Amino acid sequence: MAIPVNKKIYPRSSYFETIYLKNVINSPNIIVGDYTMYNDFAKDPTAFEKNNVLYHYPINNDKLIIGKFCSIACGAKFIMTSANHSLESLSTYPFPIFVEEWDLDWKDVTTAWDNKGDIVIGNDVWIGYEAVIMPGVHIGNGAIIGTRAVVTKDVPPYAIVGGVPAKIIKMRFADDVIDKLQNLQWWNWSYDKIKDNINYIQNGNLQMLLKTN
């Protein structure tokens, strides 16, 4: 009997470099959708929370939210808001962190950085090898993030971006197709419905998918 997706760590029973990411996350501030996968051929992929989500301090309460059916390549990094140093100060030095040294108040520690907010990744997003997603960035459904891109701004649905800083290279589909895919939301279908329509998804047969919706 197959293990339910909400329990399974390794999609392939004899291959341990790729995981269903949701099932190894412990932090309540990291939320991952079903079937989203992470591949790591250099380190233990189950250590994603430690190795790939950086400067994620509970005191800030910022969230990393990743949708369903995303593909995250080896070494991708998510830089959370506590990595920032405050630009409101006359100095970029994070004095509020060093409470004991400067006789400061712990309640002011978060003033050491500018709060950029949550990182939100949509559904069916492909994040390439060693790409870096910066604090507060929102990435739309179906987007592709190129290898070693540094994403500093929001990415529209179904855009392909690359570079440092990342810029739109092209859109994957015409606007009307993107609108239909956004409305279709196949990633929210049941397992059985997706299974029945995998060929149409793989072959780009949008018209048949629209008929089944």
Is residue 72 within 8 A of residue 39, CB to CB? The reply is: yes
Question: Which residues is 132 bridged to in the sheet?
Answer: 77, 150
Annotated active-site residue in 43, 63, 77, 85: 85
Q: Annotated catalytic, 85?
A: yes
Cα separation, 155 vs 168, whole angstroms: 8
CA-to-CA distance for 185 and 169, rounded, in angstroms?
A: 24
Which phi and psi (to 5°) does residue 159 adopt? -90, 150
| Angstrom distance (rounded) from CA 180 to CA 185 | 9
| Residues facing residue 184 across a β-bridge | none
DSSP per residue over 96-112, as a string? GG-HHHHT--GGGGGGG
The residues assigned a catalytic role are: 85
